[in-house]
Amino acid sequence: MGSKPKVVLGVSGGIAAYKACELLRRLTESGHEVRVVPTESSLNFVGEATWAALSGNPASTEVWETVHEVPHVRIGQGADLVVVAPATADLLAKAAHGLADDLLTNTLLTARCPVVFAPAMHTEMWEHPATQENVATLRRRGALVIEPAVGRLTGKDTGKGRLPDPEEIFEVCRHVLRRSGQGRGITESDLAGRHVVISAGGTREPLDPVRFLGNRSSGKQGYALARTAVARGARVTLIAANTALPDPAGADVVRVGTALQLREAVLKAAADADAVVMAAAVADFRPVAYAAGKIKKQDGQEPAPVDLTRNPDVLAEISAHRARPGQVVVGFAAETDDVLANGRSKLLRKGCDLLVVNEVGERKTFGSEENEAVILSIDGTETPVPYGPKEALADLLWDQVAPRL
């Protein structure tokens, strides 16, 4: 084991600063050496003592403390990752323009490692052209700026501008560190500027207000694809069918229930997408009739049969009618027998560019954290993905998608 990865956690002055405590805790508990660099105004929300105690390191705001150690240069130079959470509109503006009037902004200028910004502010401030241009500038220079989440803001208003869940910001950091550790720096964010649409989970086809036909897909593979795509710089729309997982940081999450709702959401999002990945388990059939009231059992009577009808095949449809020239379409298939042969014929039948074939069976059950698969490509290549975390499969898939874009 080498030394612990060195992370600088920059905290700027927004109410979401308290959430950075949880991010810090996750970073330290998973073996990172963290130095917190708060801005002066952020100390109105969380005090220096909290950062020092949680990180085990001094937390100073100014370049004038411990000057003999030249902190304004040393901290940035020595970092493996700088993450600023929350990043206010003011901090983003300073970073975009190279201002350096405190320790955090100096650190951002001296860092040569990946830099992640997790902005949080009111919707108006986020949408202001000044902020949007600063964000674009930072992204162009290779920084990863995570899209804020939509939800409750300070006070009573809701909208875009919330800091994503700290555990999800942590996941982005972990990913970026892992990739830069493999020599793929953040400046090589190969999905930067791309819009990717991912469907995840399993659809439910209602029979009556309380019952449905469904499947056991947890959505974990689709969420892993969303997380990894965010960490590689993509704008991500995640169409989530009946999942119970936290929203991945930076992804725009659209919730759906049935196959028809999923189709509508995917087609809408795919209109300007560079890639569409259909990881969701979409029901092939739905009940013909929906009972508006709960279906009751009748004494002494056999149950009425359930008549089913075919759902549209979303993957085949988007493959046949690409919303953009060169749009990359990826499907998933679960097979129990003749995995490769079935996969190859399904790839041709669906008309997609890549098909991830899973063998389902023992140990490879729905809901697990691991997966094993083969990525089949329309040009005939076959890439085996060894048994491992769903995120490893996700990264291997993006490795195949990125050069096709």
Residues that bind ligand CTP (CB under 6 A): 259, 278, 280, 282, 284, 311, 313-315, 331-334
CB 207 within 8 A of CB 291: yes
Measure the CA–CA gap between 291 and 138, rounded to whole angstroms: 53
Which residue, among 86, 77, 149, has the nearest Cα to 118 in the 3D structure?
A: 86
CB 51 within 8 A of CB 11: yes
What the block records as the tokens of 260 is 């028809």
CB 55 within 8 A of CB 24: yes
Query: Known binder of ligand: residue 313?
Result: yes
Buried b (16+ CB within 10 A) or exposed e, 176-197: bbbbbeeebebeebbbbebbbb
What's the min distance (Å) between Cβ of 283 and ligand CTP?
7
Query: Known binder of ligand: residue 19?
Result: no
Which CB sits closer to ligand CTP, 138 or 376?
376
CA dihedral 254, 259, 261, 266 (to 10 degrees): 60
CB 243 within 8 A of CB 201: yes
What's the min distance (Å) between Cβ of 323 and ligand CTP?
15
Query: Known binder of ligand: residue 284?
Result: yes
CB 79 within 8 A of CB 113: yes
H/E element holding 49? Answer: helix 48-55
Which residue, among 28, 398, 343, has the nearest Cα to 179 in the 3D structure?
A: 398
Which CB sits closer to ligand CTP, 93 or 213?
213
Find the DSSP H helices in 146-237: 166-181, 220-231
CB 15 within 8 A of CB 45: yes
Which CB sits closer to ligand CTP, 253 or 356?
356
Q: How far is CA 217 from CA 227, 276, 361, in A?
A: 18, 19, 14
Which CB sits closer to ligand CTP, 29 or 337?
337
Counting Cβ atoms within 10 Å, is residue 25 exposed (0-12), middle (13-18) or buried (19+)?
middle
Q: Is the peptide bond before 86 cis (omega within 30 degrees of 0)?
A: yes
Query: Known binder of ligand: residue 346?
Result: yes
What the block records as the tokens of 71 is 């902190």
Query: Known binder of ligand: residue 274?
Result: no
What's the min distance (Å) between Cβ of 198 and ligand CTP?
10
Annotation marks residue 44 as catalytic: no
Measure the CA–CA gap between 342 and 355, rounded to whole angstroms: 11
What the block records as the tokens of 326 is 């060169």
Which CB sits closer to ligand CTP, 111 or 329?
329
What's the min distance (Å) between Cβ of 202 and ligand CTP?
10
Which CB sits closer to ligand CTP, 9 or 355?
355
The 3-state DSSP class for residue 252 equals: strand
Point out the catalytic residue in the list 106, 215, 311, 371. Answer: 215
Measure the CA–CA gap between 244 and 95, rounded to whole angstroms: 36
What's the min distance (Å) between Cβ of 279 and ligand CTP?
7
Which CB sits closer to ligand CTP, 120 or 239?
239
Residues with catalytic roles:
215
Q: Where is the binding site for CTP, in residues?
A: 284, 294, 312-315, 332, 346, 350
Q: Where is the binding site, in residues?
A: 284, 294, 312-315, 332, 346, 350
